[in-house]
Structure 1
Amino acid sequence: MSRAALPFLQRLQRATNDHDLEALVDCFAADYRNETPAHPGRSFSGAVQVRSNWSRIFTFVPDITAAIVSQAVDGSDVWSEWEMSGTRLDGTLHRMRGVIIFRLEGERAVSARFYLEPVDESESTVDEAVQAHVHAGETP
């Protein structure tokens, strides 16, 4: 495991759980790039956008917590599985799970491939999900 990987993940988790915006932004390089392959329009660049995103998250989910479920390292790439949860200001549950693959340089992330998604709390089955995704608007 890369020497920087575990300390990076721990710093990011601690900053999130402490709601420490400055410490969280410090985990990212100024020219950080975030790719969101499942939602390409959500990709962005820059630690300024990281600050904006997390400022809103801390405001609207004031009790957010983050847990690292699993991690693996491949060179400068850190694969991490996360669960984040809290309560939005309107009282509804906020829960996200997924994988973030960070690329580190030193102690900061310079890029990430972001696969964190809201948890679908519905009781739909796998058959219903497949039907909805491959037969949208079509009946067999």
Structure 2
Amino acid sequence: MTTEDLARLFDAFNRHDIDGVMAFFAEDCVFNAIGGPEVYGTRFEGPGPIAAAFSGVWKAMPDASWDHHSHLVHGDRAVSEWTFSGTNADGSRVEAEGCDLFTLRDGKIIGKQAFRKNRPLIPAPAKS
């Protein structure tokens, strides 16, 4: 896995291309999402549940994007930094910086830990 691979991964996220995204993940992958009841957030294990989680974000926020992404790979660990933005169904918006910590094996992602600033929603514009 290289920094160029991670840039291609985030380009696939921004296209909402689930097949393109999942091509980077190993069969035994684990994804710890940004929120949830556990100390690690919410855990998704395996390609099916992980793909459903990512697709759920795109369904809930059709304009979801991870912009200004940059990447670092060192051995079996990697870091990506990004700015997430997306609009909820009620018109409120999320805009916050975040990062992913990756664990790698044989050129694939086996662990993804997502972190995002806990920033208040940006209210929907007032209706005229």
* Fold match (TM-score > 0.5): yes
Q: What 5-or-longer segments of structure 2 have no aligned partner?
A: 122-128
1:77 Cα deviation from its structure 2 partner: 0.5
Deviation at 1:110, TM superposition (A): 0.9
Q: Which has the higher helix share?
A: 1
Q: 1:118 to 1:104 in 2, by over 3 A?
A: same
CA RMSD of aligned residues (A): 2.4
Q: Deviations over 1:97-135 (max 9, x none)?
A: 322111222332011233x2254138xxxxxxxxxxxxx
Q: Letter of the aligned partner of 2:17 in structure 1?
A: D
Identical residues among aligned pairs (%) = 25
Number of paired residues?
118
Give the structure with the larger strand fraction. Answer: 2
- Match of 1:94, as an amino acid? V
- Determine the C-alpha separation between the residues in 2 that align with 1:70 and 1:7: 10
Length-normalised TM-score, structure 1: 0.71
Amino acid at match of 1:51: A
Contact 2:78 2:101 in 1 (8 A): yes
Correspondence 1:33-112 to 2 at 5 A? 33-35=30-32, 39-112=39-112
Contact 1:30–1:48 under 8 Å retained in 2 = no
- The runs of 4+ residues in structure 1 deviating greater than 6 Å are none
